[in-house]
A and B are shown apart, each in its own frame.
Chain A
Amino acid sequence: MVENWHVLDWLAVALYLGTMIFVGWYVARKVKNSTDFLMAGRSLTYPMVVATLAATWYGSGAVFGTAQLAYTSGIAAFIVWCIPAHLGRIPLALWVAPKVRGLKETTIPALLGRLYAKPVAILGALLILCFSTRIMDIVSVGFMGYTVTGLPNWITGAVIVGVVIVYSLFGGLWSVVMTDVLQFLLMTTLTLLLLVPVWNLVGGFDGLSATIPAEHFRPTGDMTIGQMLIFFLLGFQVYADPAAYQRFGASNNAGTARRAYLTCLLIWLAFDTVITMLGLCARSLYPELIEQPNIAFLTMAIDNLPPFLTGLYMCSILAVIMSTMSSFYLVGATTMTVDLVKPLFMPHMNDKQQITLTRLFMVVIGLCGVLMAFQFKTVLDAVIFLGGLYLASAFAPVLGGLFWKGRLTVAGGFCSMLVGMGVTIVWKFILGTPFGVNAMLVALPASIAFFFIGNMFGEDIRTRTANAPVSK
Chain B
Amino acid sequence: MEQKNSDETSGISSKDYLIALGIVLECLTIYLFLVNKVSIIGVLLPLIVAGVAVTITGLALRDFFRQHK
Measuring CB to CB, which residues of chain A are less than 8 angstroms from any residue of chain B? Answer: 27, 30, 43, 45-48, 50-51, 75, 78-79, 83, 86-87, 90, 93-94, 98-99, 101-104, 114, 178, 181-182, 184-185, 188-189, 191-192, 195-196, 199, 204-206, 208-209, 217, 219, 253-256, 258-259, 262-263, 265-267, 269-271, 273-274, 276-277
Nearest residue in A to B42 (C-beta to C-beta)? A199
Asked whether, in the complex, the Cβ of B43 is within 8 Å of the Cβ of A196, the reply is: yes
CB atoms of A50 and B42 under 8 A apart: no
Q: Inside 8 A of A75's CB, which chain B residues have their CB?
A: 34-35
**Known contacts A47-B59, A195-B46, A274-B45; A253 and B64 CB within 8 A of each other:** no
- Do B37 and A209 have beta carbons less than 8 Å apart? yes
Looking at chain B's contact residues, is the secondary structure mostly helix, strand, loop, or mixed? helix
Q: How far is the CA of A43 from the CA of B5 in the complex (A)?
A: 14
Majority-rule SS of A interface residues? helix
| A104-B1, A199-B42, A255-B10 known; A191 vs B56 contact (CB < 8 Å) | no
Given known contacts A253-B6, A254-B8, what 20 new A-B pairs fall within 8 Å (CB)?
A47-B56, A47-B57, A50-B60, A93-B16, A93-B20, A94-B12, A94-B16, A101-B8, A102-B5, A103-B2, A181-B61, A189-B54, A192-B49, A204-B39, A206-B37, A209-B37, A267-B52, A267-B53, A270-B26, A273-B30
A209→B12 CA distance, assembly (Å): 44
Chain B minimum-CB-distance residue to A208: B37
What CA separation (Å) do A50 and B60 show in the bound complex? 9
**Given contacts A188-B49, A258-B12, are A206 and B39 in contact (CB under 8 A)?**
yes
Residue of B nearest to A270 (CB): B49
Contact of B50 among A46, A47, A114, A188 (CB under 8 A): A188
> Interface residues, chain B, CB within 8 Å of chain A?
1-8, 10, 12-13, 15-16, 19-20, 22-24, 26-27, 30-31, 34-35, 37-39, 41-43, 45-50, 52-54, 56-57, 59-61, 63-64, 67-68
Q: Are A263 and B57 in contact (CB under 8 A)?
A: no
B54 near A204 with CB under 8 A, answer no
Tell me the complex Cα distance, A203–B22, Å: 30
Inter-subunit contact B31/A83 (CB<8 Å): yes
Kindly provide the distance from the CB of B13 to the nearest chain A CB, expressed in whole angstroms.
8
Q: Is the CB of B30 within 8 A of A185?
A: no
Q: Which of A45, A51, A98, A191 contacts B57 (CB 8 A)?
A: A51
The complex places the Cα of A217 from the Cα of B12 at a distance, in Å, of 38
Bound state CA distance, A330 and B60, in angstroms? 21
Contact between B8 and A273, CB atoms less than 8 A apart:
no
Distance A75 CA – B30 CA, assembled complex (angstroms):
11
Closest to B52 in A: A267
Report Cα–Cα, A108/B6, bound state, in Å: 23
Partner of B63, one of A48, A98, A101, A255: A48
**B30 engages A262 (CB within 8 Å):** no
**Can you name 12 A-B pairs with beta carbons within 8 Å?**
A27-B64, A47-B57, A50-B56, A104-B2, A188-B53, A192-B47, A205-B39, A253-B5, A270-B30, A270-B48, A274-B46, A276-B34
Bound-complex Cα distance A184 to B54 (A): 9
User: B43 to chain A: which residues have CB within 8 Å?
Assistant: 196, 199
